[in-house]
Structures are given as C-alpha cells and as structure tokens.
C-alpha cells in the first residue's frame, strides 16, 4: 500500500542564512514542568518566529523542512535535494509563476496537521507567501 503525506508550503525571501536560522530558532519555556501542562495552550510564548507568524504556539519540527539558497535561479534549483522534491518541484514552480513571485530564495513545508490556519506573512526584512498544500508519496 502506498503511503502519502500532505504538507503546507510557503515560498519566500530572506536577506541571509542567519536571518533564516533566527526565524526558525526554537525557544523552549524552561520554567514550565510537566505539572504545568494541563491543556493544549500550555506554552507561554510561541516556539519560534515561524510559529508566531502562523498563529501557533507549538509545532513538531520533525514534520517540517526548509531550505535557503540565495543564488537559486529557479524554484527547482531552490528545492533540489530536499525530501521528496521531485514530487513537488513542478507544482511549486507553477504556483510561483501564477502568483508572480520573484526573488524567491527560501521555502518551507510542514505536515498539514501541524498548522491550523496557514497564512502569508511579511516582516521588516522577509516575506513568506503561503502557496497551499501538496500531497506526495512517502
């Protein structure tokens, strides 16, 4: 039986790899112990800037992957070598073209069950455009 995964995808632009690292850097609430976890909203602060931008407190990073390539000349070049890239590279290329996205140097995808309401976001030095879900074989 063939197994599939559906993931949310974003395409975007960041100024440098350090900013990407800071954006996805995870901060854990050290002051919490197991007794404080009594519901789904136990975190006091979002796990990362990405989580904050997506309106989430937490996600499982084991179900996420991102890539940054400042010299990528195409979406295919940007995603090359990442997990399952051969199954979504053409679709992301098509969607980027339809949306008129230019200067893309970063992408992220995460299992659809990790983000309840995915959205496009823009910060002072970056932007991420939500381009929808893609299902691929795993």
Round to whole Å and give the CA distance between 44 and 127: 25
Q: pLDDT digit string (tens) for 58-115?
A: 999 999 999 999 999 999 999 999 999 999 999 999 999 999 999 999 999 999 999 9
Asked if residue 35 has pLDDT above 50, the reply is no
Structure tokens at 97: 């073209």
Domain ranges of the chain: 4-137
Q: What is the pTM of this model?
A: 0.89
Alpha carbon 72 to chain centroid distance?
18
Question: Contacts for 70-74 with beta carbons within 8 Å, 24 or more apart?
Answer: 70/16, 70/17, 70/105, 72/104, 72/105
């Amino acid at each position: 039986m063939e197994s599939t995964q559906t993931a949310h995808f974003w395409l975007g632009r960041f100024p440098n790899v350090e900013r990407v690292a800071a954006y996805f850097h995870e901060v854990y609430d050290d002051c919490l112990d197991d007794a404080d976890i009594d519901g789904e909203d136990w975190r006091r602060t979002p796990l990362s800037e990405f989580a904050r931008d997506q309106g989430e407190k937490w996600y499982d990073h084991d179900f996420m992957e991102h890539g940054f390539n400042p010299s990528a000349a195409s979406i295919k070049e940007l995603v090359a070598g990442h997990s399952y890239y051969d199954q979504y590279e053409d679709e992301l290329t098509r969607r980027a073209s339809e949306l008129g996205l230019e200067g893309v140097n970063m992408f992220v995808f995460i299992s659809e069950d990790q983000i309840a309401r995915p959205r496009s976001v823009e910060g002072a030095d970056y932007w991420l455009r939500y381009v929808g879900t893609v299902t691929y074989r795993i």
